[in-house]
Structure 1
Amino acid sequence: MSTWLTNTWYVAGWDAEIDSAPLARTICGVPMMFYRRLDRSVVAMRDACPHRMLPLSIGIREGDSIRCKYHGLKLGPDGVAEEMPLKTETVNRRICAETFTVAERHRFVWLWIGDKDKADPALIPDLWPCSAEGWTFDGGYYPVACDYRLMIDNLMDLTHETYVHAGSIGQQEILEAPLQCRIEGESVLLSRWMPGIDAPPFWRGALKKPGPVDRWQVCQFILPSAVMIDVGVAPVGAGATIESHDQGVRGMVVDFMTPETETSHHYFWGMARNFDIDDAGFTARFKAQQGGVFAEDREILEAQQAAILANPDMKLNAYRIDEGGVRARQIIARKMRAGEEA
C-alpha cells in the first residue's frame, strides 16, 4: 500500500524544465518521461519501451514522436506504434506505451495520477499568488531523499526556523509567539502573529524602513501535498492583522511535494511576492537565497529519513508544535481510506 493519494494532480515539473528533449522523472513509483510537441504542448509517457523496456527518455525525437534507441520502435505522442523495428513489418497499432493526462497552470506542469476519466483541471490546487496580478513568482526544484510527508511536517512547523535557519529567517520570537491551528474542510491552517518585534534581515531589507514591525506566518496545507505559507511584515501601527495584512511587504512561499518513492520526493519550491515585482535582479538573487534556505531543510530531512530507517523499533512523537503536520497527515490518511473503500 502506497503512502500517497491517487486520482489527483501532482506537479511534474516547472514549465521551463520540460522542453523538446525528454525529461525522465519517477512520480508515485512510476517511471515517466516528459517532452514538448512542436506546438509546445506536453507529452507524458511511461518511460519504458513496450518492446524491450529500454527507457524511452534516452530515445530519439522525430517530430512529435519518439524512437526507441535500442531497436528503433517509433511511438507517436499518443504512445501508439508508428513504425516497427523491421521496416517491412506491418505496424501493429495495438503496441502502445502508457500515456498520462497533463495540464499547465501557475508555471507548473501538472500530472494526473489515477483514472484518466476523472482528470478535471478544475481540481488543480489553487496556488493563486503564482498567477495573480500585482505579484511575481519564481522558484526551483530539489530531489529530496525522504518521505514527502516529512517535508509537509517541516513546512507546517516553522519553529524549526529558529535553529535550522538561524542565519536568515529564524528568530527567537518565533518560539515565543502562540500558535493557532484550525481545519477548514480538507485544509489545515496554522497561524502565528508576532507584534512589535525587530524584523529579521531579509524582511528589513524588503520593507526598506526602520522601526519595529508586526510579523505573521500562516501555513496552509492543501491536498494532495501542497503547503502555502503567507509571510511578511508591516510597520507597527500600519493596521495589519493576522487576518488582513497587505499594509507592508507580503510573500507567499509555495511548496509542492510530489512523491517519487516511499522514501523520496520531488520538491518544487518558490515564492510569490507583492513587492519589487519588476526587479528581475532581486528575483534572481532571492531565488538563490531561498534555494540556500531550503537546502538546509533538505539536509535535515534526509538525515531524519536515514534515522527513521535505522531505528525501525522507534516511532515519531508529536508535540504541540507538530499539530499542523499531524492534522495534514490525518486528512491524507482519511482521503486514502475513502478511496480504498470506494
Structure 2
Amino acid sequence: MTTPDRPVTATVFDHPRNAWYVAAWDHEVSAKRPLARTIAGTPMALWRTSDGAASALADACWHRLAPLSMGTVLGDEIQCPYHGLRYNSSGRCTAMPAQRTVNPSAMVTAFPVVERHRYVWVWPGDPDLADPRLVPDMHQMDSPDWAGDGLTIAAGCNYQLILDNLMDLTHEEFVHAGSIGQDELSESEFVVRRVDERRVVVERWMRDIEPPPFWLKNMRDRFPGFSGRVDRWQIIHFEAPSTICIDVGVAEAGTGAPEGDRSRGVNGFVMNTITPETTRTSHYFWAFMRNYRLESQLITTQLREAVHGVFAEDEAMLIAQQRAIDANPEHVFYSLNIDGGGLWVRRILDEMLQAEGRGPDPDAASVGAAPAPLRRIGS
C-alpha cells in the first residue's frame, strides 16, 4: 500500500477538535502569571496551581468576557483582571466582588490537560473523549538516551500546509540546497504505508552518496576527520492529528545502516508537532534530538540553531504559499507521486472530522474559504 486508492479531499482550513494539541513548552506555563494561547480556534488561559499542575480555561470571564490571561494567579485560582472574579482549575467561580453569594451559573470552560514529553497538551473537544493514551509518542524528547532542544515557530499558514511540507522531504533539494538538500532526494525511491487509523510512515534510503554540509559536520562531530560517502535515511512517522517525528541520519557507506547497524553513523530525530491556531496561523513546536555526544551542550546549541535556520527557509515558503492560496480562492490542488504520505494524512484528518460530524464537503473546489479536493495524478 503506497497511496490512497482514490483522490482524497483536503480540508485545508479545518482541524479535528477531539485531539491532543501542544499548547506550550512546559517551561512556558507558570504559577506567576497566566499564558494566553489560541488552540484550534479557542482562546485559552494557562497557568499552574500551587501543586505545579498545569490548568487551561477558556480565556473569557463569565461576567463580561474579559481575558483571564490578563489576570492574576492566586494560589490555586485565577483572578479576572476586570472585576476580580476568581476561578478554580475546573472553571467554577469561587468568589465575586462585593457579594457573599456566588452565582451558581458562574463557570468558564475547563479543558483537559496532560504534561508529557516537555510539552503541555490540551484537548479542545469533548472532554469525555480525552484519553491520555492518545497523546502522540514523542518519547525522544525526555529520554536519557537522547539529547537536544527546540523552539516554537509562529507560522503564518494553515497547519495542513506544514504537514504537507514535512511528509514530502523532496522539497529539501530545492528549498534547502545549501544545508540538507541534494539531488538524490528526488532520485531515490520511497515507500509509504498507513500503519493504522492514526499513523502513517514514509521511508526513504539514499545509498552511497556524498553527505550534504549539515550531515558532514555531524559525522565529523562524532568521527573527527571523517571523509567519504554515506548511506542516508529519512523515516517519517506521522501520528494524528499533527505530530511528525522524523528519524534521520547518515552512516559510513556500506557499514550496514540499511540493515540496522547504525554504529558508524549519526542519528537524529526531528520532532515536530503542529497546533492549529486559526485557519491561517499555527503554533509549530519542534526540536532536534540526537543519540550521540549527549554530554555536549555546544553540539545541542549548534544543532538547534542550524535547524532553526533550515526551518526559517520553510517558514518563508509556507507563508508565501498561504498568501497564494488566499489570492487564488478558486484554485484546486493537484497531487504528484511525492504527495503519497500527505494524501494519507489528509485521509486520516478527513476521517477524524467525519467522526465529529464535520466532514469535508465533497463538492467544494476552493482552497481559500472552502475545502478543496486533492486530485492525484501519476501512478
Q: TM-score, normalised by structure 2?
A: 0.86
Mark the runs of 5 or more structure 2 residues left unpaired by the alignment: 1-10, 221-225, 360-379
* C-alpha RMSD over aligned residues: 1.8
Aligned amino acid, residue 321 of structure 2: Q
Q: Provide the aligned length of Structure 1 versus Structure 2.
A: 341
Correspondence for 1:241 among 236, 239, 258:
258
Could you tell me how far apart the structure 2 residues matched to 1:39 and 1:167 are?
48
4+ residue segments displaced more than 6 Å: none
> C-alpha deviations, 1:153-202, integer Å up to 9, x for none?
00011111112112211112212212221221132211211111111122
1:136 matched to 2:147? The reply is yes
Percent sequence identity over matched residues? 45
Q: Which amino acid is the alignment partner of residue 139 of structure 2?
A: W
User: Match for 2:14 among 3, 19, 35?
Assistant: 3
Structure 1 residue 57: Cα displacement: 0.5
Query: For the structure 1 residues 177 and 256, does the alpha-carbon distance in structure 2 shift closer, same or farther, using more than 3 Å as the test?
Result: same
User: What are structure 1's unaligned runs of at least 5 residues?
Assistant: none
Residues 33 and 341 (structure 1), Cα distance of their counterparts in 2 relative to 1, 3 Å cut:
closer
Distance 2:36 2:276 in 1: 15
Q: What SS is found at the alignment partner of 2:20?
A: strand
- The reply on whether 1:77 has 2:99 as its aligned counterpart is no
What residue in structure 2 maps to residue 269 of structure 1? 286
Greater CA drift, 163-172 or 239-248: 239-248
1:212 corresponds to which of 222, 229, 239: 229
Which residue is equivalent to 1:312? 329
Tell me the CA shift for residue 239 of structure 1.
0.8
- Stretch deviating more after TM superposition (151-160 or 7-16): 7-16
Distance in 1 between the 2:93 and 2:337 partners? Answer: 56
Q: CA, structure 1 residues 321+341, in 2 after alignment: closer, same or farther (shift >3 Å)?
A: closer
Task: Indicate conservation of the 8 Å contact 2:208/2:254, yes or no.
Answer: no
The alpha carbon displacement at 1:246 in A equals 5.2
Q: Name the SS for the 1:217 alignment partner.
A: strand
Q: Counterpart of 2:26?
A: 15
Corresponding residue of 1:35: 47
Give the letter aligned to residue 156 of structure 2. Answer: A
Question: Residues 341 and 203 (structure 1 numbering): CA distance in 2 closer, same or farther, change over 3 Å?
Answer: closer
Q: Secondary structure at the match of 1:129?
A: helix
Taking the aligned partners of 2:142 and 2:36, their CA distance within structure 1 comes to 27
One-letter amino acid of the structure 1 residue matched with residue 45 of structure 2: M
Distance 1:246 1:28, change over 3 A: farther
- Secondary structure of the equivalent of 1:300? helix
Secondary structure at 2:28 match in 1? coil
Tell me by how many angstroms 1:252 deviates.
0.8
| Residue 297 of structure 2: aligned partner | 280
Alignment match, 1:57: 69
TM-score scaled to structure 1, two decimals?
0.95
Q: 2:170 aligns with which of 155, 159, 174?
A: 159
Structure with greater contact order relative to length (CA < 8 Å, sep ≥ 6): 2
Give the distance between the partners of 1:290 and 1:318, measured in 2 at CA: 28
Tell me, in whole angstroms, the C-alpha distance in 2 between the residues paired with 1:334 and 1:244: 38
| Partners of 2:152 and 2:263 in 1: CA distance | 28
Q: Of the candidates 171, 188, 200, which is equivalent to residue 212 of structure 2? A: 200
Corresponding letter in the other structure for 1:41: A
Identify which of 157, 178, 182 aligns with 2:189.
178
Quote the offset at 1:215 in angstroms.
0.4
